[in-house]
């Protein structure tokens, strides 16, 4: 027993030993730990995420026509999304850093919303779902930031993973209407 364990036992703190650590991201003392992915072989991984930025129809029109006073909203949001995908592991504590091979950030418009869609691809030992969700969310926040002076009613909604492929669990796709 290490000196740290002995001192914890003497302090009267209750220790919980997790029987099968591999199943959880918890160390023997109950603290958070990162899952070991080094034994895995790198395989192609892909993830797609989407969200909506709801806004007034006039704001949607200005964004679509590149007429916002702060500049090109979609270009800034695209760059922000790409940067965010590459830095997801720095913001999410249990997220493994991956070598992001490709990121695309696309936009589509409705009368009162901008839909953000992100695709992230890699060949690595773990998936890129968090990178796709981070890219999507940061792109949406950038749209919000650049439009907030003209539209305080905006909301960011329905942030969700829509597809993933690769890895042990294989492909997955959200059913249409399951948002």
Catalytic (active-site) positions: 145
Is-contact 37 47, C-beta < 8 A? Answer: no
Is-contact 89 26, C-beta < 8 A? Answer: no
Is-contact 142 80, C-beta < 8 A? Answer: yes
Alpha-helix residue ranges (DSSP H) falling in the chain: 3-10, 57-64, 73-86, 88-91, 129-147
Q: What residue ranges in the chain does DSSP mark as E strands? A: 43-54, 102-110, 113-124, 155-165, 172-173
Q: How far apart are the C-alpha atoms of 99 and 8, rounded to whole Å?
A: 39
Q: Which residues contact 26 (CB under 8 A, 6 or more apart)?
A: 18, 32, 33
Using only C-alpha atoms, what is the Rg of the chain?
A: 21
């Amino acid at each position: 027993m290490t000196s740290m364990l002995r001192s914890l036992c003497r302090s009267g703190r209750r220790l919980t030993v997790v029987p099968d650590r591999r199943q959880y991201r918890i160390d023997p003392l109950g603290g958070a730990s990162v899952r070991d992915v080094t034994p895995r072989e790198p395989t192609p991984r892909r993830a797609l995420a989407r969200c909506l930025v709801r806004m007034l129809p006039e704001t949607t029109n200005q964004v679509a026509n590149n007429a916002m006073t702060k500049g090109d909203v979609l270009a800034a949001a695209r760059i922000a999304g790409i940067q965010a995908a590459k830095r997801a592991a720095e913001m999410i504590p249990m997220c493994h850093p991956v070598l992001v091979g490709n990121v695309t950030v696309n936009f589509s418009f409705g009368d009162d919303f901008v839909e953000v869609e992100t695709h992230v691809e890699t060949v690595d030992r773990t998936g890129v779902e968090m990178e796709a969700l981070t890219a999507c969310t940061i792109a949406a926040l950038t749209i919000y930031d650049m439009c907030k002076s003209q539209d305080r009613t905006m909301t960011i909604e329905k942030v969700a993973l829509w597809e993933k492929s690769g890895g042990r669990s294989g492909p997955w796709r959200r059913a249409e209407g399951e948002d």
